[in-house]
Structure 1
């Protein structure tokens, strides 16, 4: 069975051959390779990596979350050694579940996967429409005429990719960081006497 790396290499080579068949200048073909093909390949790889991490972490959390209650419910009172193994196993597995959930929540692998996948498919769609002079490019007689519009579409997609990544993925991480810091400050800084009196007054009322 072919590996994912060999499939990616084969797909990239096929797209490179497609570029060579288009009636474009060398500079335009270079743009296709550097700004379209390389981005399709890079973002496709990032999408696969994010998807794999998302599946690993989520499955670990789900399966571990199912097993932990089962271990807790086992009757181990007759065997102290077995009870000790079960107890430590439960603690260890619970820690793994918590870590897996925290890591996925922090890095947002699910969001990253969907983000990169959407951008990759958008780039591919533009590439295939351009190569066939269909869709947005159906009104052009040649690839030379359609190239300027194609280049503009690609740059718009890449710019939106950056904007969406900054506003969604990075913003979520910063928001979580701020919320964590606020919770930490609440635990570190004791409630002021004024706040205590206000709380007591509210309770008495």
Structure 2
């Protein structure tokens, strides 16, 4: 956590020094700090958080999935032989059960929250914002035709807002789509027993 905080502070201090060297008005510098830099730091933190959770859940699922077959095999062997004491058998049984639950829960959490997709989404957006910031500071890329930061500022502000707006639209679309898929799966789950009951009733009527 300390490393993350130190990196956040480094970014904040580094970009603030960069802003001071630009010939911009107070309002424009305020935009850089309150809008652009604030979004960069926030998305950087979200990207790192989503990455850590994604790795933790995936590693837990992978390692647990590798260990489980071995525990199941031990469980079968101890059941078929009488040389293993009752305590060891119980330890293996409960370890198998507990690990299977951990693997299932980890996979379910990752499937529900989509931390991997969130990580990639935030990372793409924050890198786009950083690219805009560095290009603006050096007057390169879309700002190469301008001779000063003052002249290029309006274009930079517009590009920043476009990146943020695109981020909001993509995230909102994903959330809405996930809710629709979840609702559809729930409806299918509810309708399946009803469909089976209807089919059974129809068969009884035919008889």
Please report how far the alpha carbon of residue 196 of structure 1 lies from its aligned counterpart in structure 2 after TM superposition: 5.4
RMSD of aligned Cα (Å): 2.1
State the alpha-carbon separation in 1 of the partners of residues 126 and 9 from structure 2. Answer: 16
Q: Which residue number corresponds to residue 191 of structure 1?
A: 196
1:177 partnered with 2:185: no
Q: Is the 8 A contact 1:107 1:173 kept in 2?
A: no
- Secondary structure of 1:73's match? helix
Give the alignment's TM-score, normalised by structure 2.
Answer: 0.89
Gaps of 5+ in 1: none
Give the alignment's TM-score, normalised by structure 1.
Answer: 0.90
Runs of 4+ in 1 over 6 A off after TM superposition: none
Q: Which residue number corresponds to residue 103 of structure 1?
A: 109
Q: Which residue number corresponds to residue 160 of structure 1?
A: 166
Gaps of 5+ in 2: none
1:147 partnered with 2:153: yes
- Secondary structure of 1:103's match? helix
Please give the per-residue CA displacement for 1:99-137, whole angstroms capped at 9, x wherever unaligned.
Answer: 000001000100100000000000000000000000000
How does 1:1-205 map onto structure 2 within 5 Å? 3-74=3-74, 75-76=77-78, 77=81, 78-79=83-84, 80-168=86-174, 170-186=175-191, 189=194, 191-193=196-198, 197=202
State the alpha-carbon separation in 2 of the partners of residues 90 and 136 from structure 1. Answer: 58
Please report how far the alpha carbon of residue 192 of structure 1 lies from its aligned counterpart in structure 2 after TM superposition: 4.5
